[in-house]
Chain A
Amino acid sequence: QVRLVVPIAVAFSPGSVPTDLPRPLPFRDDQEMEITVNLRTTVTSHYEVMYRGTTAQEEAALAAATAREADAALRPLQGVSMGSLTMYVVPETSSLLPQGISVYVGKHRSALVRAGGSLAALQARLQQVTQLMSFTATSMAAALSDRVPDGRLSPDSRRSLKSSLGYEITFSLLNPDPKSHAVDWDIEGAVNCYVKPVLDKLSLVANFSVDSQILYYAVLGVTPRYDKESSSFLLSTHSLPHVINPVEARLGSSAASLYPVLNFLLYVPERSHSPLYIQDKDGAPVSTNAFHSPRWGGIMVYNVEASASPQASLPLHVDVDMARVMEVFLAQLRLLFGLSREELPAEFLLESPGNEGLADWELDHLLWAHTVENIATVSTTLTSLAQLLDKIGNIVIKDDVASEVYRAVASVQSAVAKLGKGHLHSAFQASKEAVTSSERAFFDPSLLHLLYFPDDQKFAIYIPLFLPMAVPILLSLAKIVRETRQRKKEPTKMD
């Protein structure tokens, strides 16, 4: 029973106002949509749409030559609030959007939509854009995946990482053939240049820690097949699942932190197995030469060009092109988080986020999903904690466990309230606090039911002690009662 409020502003530039507006601009129109997850859980999305005309500054920005420049110019004119969206409707004949494209989604929280004639068509398009930029029914169902009845979930929804307070990212370089290749990778530089901007942007979502290692003589679990036509070695899709396991034993998941670990492996094939390509289902080599596993990480194969002369001295020095590698790894990171840009209608054009890794609206997308997931987790945790306490009546709750429970309840109520007002950022922070408190309360080591004895065990201990002692007492009691009764009868008998 969560209500998600998305504040949306739709600004009509001159010449794009549809003719069949119900009221003159500016006016407000609210739409509600219900997403039923299961019998007891519904997510209501409430779109507060404010229709207005563009201001002079916005018109000046929209007069730019390309959509990208317009987007950049529009950015300082919007508010900074997370979770809100702004859509600018441009005339149908505008040259801002390229031919055949009717929606352009920028890097921040705005989109340019081509006017479509009637208000209904425009609203349909606006609905599509809103759902893309905030959340859809499937993304909500994925966030609440443990409440959805089985069989209704698509395979997609089980892929992305669960919301957690932090993640560990490990970059590993696998060199199975150090005699032939002396591989050098500037991982520290690459992390500072390419990975840090992305993680800084994602720092709102969770804490990230990055480490790296180099493993020698680490081989893949499968032998690649030699393909004569392309004179290269191929790994088919069927063998990919078995590649990860032999390597994982050597990766050494971090002993220090309890956060989920994301592993990104760069494999430089042996000289005898170069070049190595990954084959997709149709038999064509994959352009990225990489694959990933949900909730685990990704592997990329980096082929070294065979040296021209066979007399080149081994080991060959290899300088890894970190930019190319990071492009793939960061794309895999996005996919692991569930940010995919695959299924889009043809007329949509999405701006690439560049070095930041993800657009602002994608960050919002993550935050919506994680906030809802956190709230659901907290309510499940607290409910099951209450059920545990019902079952074991004599469990002792320590003061700090009690205070954590109170804090969790207060935080989750505040998160729901803030979602209802449309403050995504503060709602997310509140939900994070709620999850921390509830996990701490639920997993407190003192709540082990083994430590609390059920009543029947208590009787089993005390009865053998007290029963023998009680026998003479009860017999004496019986004697007393009999004597009292006799005495009562005697006065009546005596005269």
Chain B
Amino acid sequence: FQDQAEQFFRSGHTNNWAVLVCTSRFWFNYRHVANTLSVYRSVKRLGIPDSHIVLMLADDMACNPRNPKPATVFSHKNMELNVYGDDVEVDYRSYEVTVENFLRVLTGRIPPSTPRSKRLLSDDRSNILIYMTGHGGNGFLKFQDSEEITNVELADAFEQMWQKRRYNELLFIIDTCQGASMYERFYSRNIMALASSQVGEDSLSHQPDLGIGVHLMDRYTFYVLEFLEEIHPASQTNMNDLFQVCPKSLCVSTPGHRTDLFQRDPQNVLITDFFGSVRKVEITTETISLDRDLAGFEREFPEDELATEPLKYAEQLPVAQIIHQKPKQKDWHPPGGFILGLWALIIMVFFKTYGIKHMKHVF
């Protein structure tokens, strides 16, 4: 039993999380949503439950007025596979997909009122899969056409996660143009990164669908998904196979990967370590002996339960505190050196130009 236990414990994680982010909105970015939803489907199929998946989507595809097949998002030509389905659980949708929310999810600095489904409650034995897709450039990733996240910020966020031991191992997959620039700056331990294209290259989309009118998927994710279709929860395929997934002939761009920060050899890392959720189990061989007669049937039910008044919804929010708060007195600070120097310069120039005799009008 010990060697089997060794094998089970090879990766050292006890639970799996997935953070899937689609950073684009608008109808012509259909393929990014389809990418993310397809990865979501695979990850659910391989065992990670919704409670452990944080899905961030603009979610404006399925009910978009331009969608000829409402309430569906297809990932395959000829509308073979509807990845939207009946049970998709989007945690951050539409305008909630911002850089700030993404970083809050990663670092855990979330306002206390956030529901549990929107939190990443990982611990030091969690393996996390982070998948990002959208439009990117050299060193940044565009979020919803209005802001961007740089690779430095992302690396810092991962470092904060590592400092607080919010992950055991992390797999970062990015499918954007020049995706490899996003993982260049990582410096925390136990991170493995994959990208769909190198710096200077664009990631291309796969197939347009004439019925829907847009490109349905990106090439890299399409081939990754074909690869994942063959994985089942008990498979022993390792990461080296995932690295080979989309050669230049199929993908046109050159996928890259980074494993120098990772402790284990990619040969030993199973795909299901990140994409699935294979639990470590042990047979229970001990029992305790309970004395049935002693069991306090004569114990009174605790009647000392404090009767708390049912709180009205409004009372649970500290509205009173917020409304009646006096505006805080802002302390007056003397102007800083830069402003002082600038004004001194301006005054000097003025009086030099117009003559000193005007000073007496001022003072």
Q: Does B66 contact A (CB under 8 A)?
A: no
Residue in A closest to B152 when the chains form the complex, CB atoms: A454
Binds A, one of B132-140, B204-212, B249-257, B345-353: B345-353
Distance to closest chain A CB from B310 (angstroms): 15
- Bound-state CA distance A450–B149 (Å) is 10
- A192-B299, A237-B4, A258-B119 in contact; A295/B290 too (CB < 8 A)? no
A445 touches which of B110, B281, B294, B297 (Cβ 8 Å): B110
Q: B290 contacts which of A146, A241, A323 (Cβ < 8 Å)?
A: A323
For residue A296, CB closer than 8 A to chain B, the reply is yes
0/1 string, A288-311, CB within 8 A of B gives 1: 101111111010100000000000
A255-B116, A448-B100 as given contacts; A476 in contact with B349, CB under 8 Å: yes
Residue B69 lies at the interface, judged by CB distance under 8 Å to chain A: no
Q: Which residue of A lies closest to B16 (CB)?
A: A245
A-contact 0/1 string along B144-182, CB 8 Å cutoff: 000000000100100010011100000000000000000
- The total number of A-B Cβ pairs within 8 Å is 193
B263 within 8 A of A: yes
* B107 close to A (CB within 8 Å): yes
Interface stretch (choices B19-27, B46-54, B220-228, B312-320): B46-54
A133 CB to nearest chain B CB (Å): 18
Q: Which A residues are in CB contact (< 8 Å) with B299?
A: 192-193
B14 close to A326 (CB less than 8 A):
no
A403 contacts the other chain (CB 8 A): no
Cβ contact within 8 Å between A281 and B280 = no
Nearest chain B residue, comparing its CB with the CB of A190: B295
B295: contacting residue among A193, A237, A249, A258, CB under 8 A: A193
Q: Which residues of B contact A268 (CB under 8 A)?
A: none
Interface band, chain A: 35 or more
Instruction: Write the A470-481 contact mask toward B (1 if CB under 8 angstroms, else 0).
Output: 000100110010
| Contact between chains at A447 and B287 (CB < 8 Å) | no
Query: In the complex the two chains form, is A280's CB within 8 Å of B283's CB?
Result: yes
Contact in complex: B286, A241 (CB < 8 Å): no
Stretch of B30-38, B121-129, B355-363 on the interface side: B121-129
- The verdict on B326 contacting chain A, using a C-beta distance below 8 Å, is no
* Contact among A145, A294, A334, A447 with B14 in the assembled complex (CB-CB below 8 Å): A294
A296, A326, A334: the one within 8 Å of B279 (CB): A296
A381 x B160 contact (CB < 8 A): no
- Is the beta-carbon distance between A341 and B1 smaller than 8 angstroms? no
- Enumerate chain A residues within 8 angstroms of B233, measured Cβ to Cβ: 241-242, 245
A328 on the interface (CB 8 Å rule)?
yes
- Bound CA–CA A442/B163 (angstroms): 11
**Are B160 and A146 in contact, CB atoms less than 8 angstroms apart?**
no
Comparing A88-96, A98-106, A350-358, A409-417, the segment that makes contact with chain B is A350-358
Tell me, rounded to whole Å, the shortest Cβ–Cβ distance linking B304 to chain A.
14
- Is B28 part of the binding interface, using a Cβ–Cβ cutoff of 8 Å? no
Contacting pair A445 B287 (CB below 8 A): no
Determine if B280 and A450 form an interchain contact, defined as CB atoms under 8 angstroms apart: no
Chain A residue numbers with a CB within 8 Å of B346 are: 473
Q: Roughly how many angstroms separate A189 CA and B116 CA in the complex, as a whole number?
A: 30
- Chain A neighbourhood of B279, CB < 8 A: 241, 244-245, 293, 296
A441 and B132 alpha carbons, distance in the complex (Å): 30
B290 CB contacts on chain A under 8 angstroms: 194, 323, 326-327, 330, 354-355
Q: Given A162-B123, A473-B349, A477-B345, verify A354-B283 contact (CB < 8 Å).
A: no
CA distance A113 to B149 in the complex (A): 65
Q: Is B342 an interface residue (CB 8 A)?
A: yes
Q: A83–B125 Cα gap in the complex (Å)?
A: 29
CB of B171, distance to nearest CB on chain A (Å): 18
Q: From residue A308, how far is it (CB to closest CB) to chain B in Å?
A: 26
A258 to nearest B CB, angstroms? 7
**Which residues on B sit within 8 Å (CB–CB) of A291?**
281-284
> When the two chains form their complex, are residues A158 and B100 in contact, meaning their CB atoms are under 8 A apart?
no
Give the residues in chain B near A353, CB-CB below 8 Å.
Answer: 288
Other A-B contacts than A294-B280, A445-B104, A445-B111, 15 sampled, CB-CB below 8 A, are A158-B125, A240-B281, A241-B233, A241-B279, A244-B279, A245-B276, A253-B116, A255-B115, A257-B116, A258-B121, A278-B283, A294-B282, A328-B287, A448-B100, A477-B348
- Interface residue ranges, A against B (CB under 8 Å): 145-146, 150, 155, 158-159, 162, 189, 192-194, 197, 237-238, 240-242, 244-246, 248-249, 253-258, 260, 278, 280-281, 286-288, 290-296, 298, 300, 323, 326-328, 330-332, 334-335, 340-342, 352-355, 357, 380-381, 384, 387-388, 391, 442-451, 466, 473, 476-477, 480
17 contacts between A and B (CB under 8 A): A145-B124, A192-B299, A242-B47, A244-B281, A280-B283, A293-B279, A294-B280, A334-B286, A354-B289, A384-B164, A388-B160, A443-B110, A448-B107, A448-B109, A450-B153, A473-B349, A480-B349
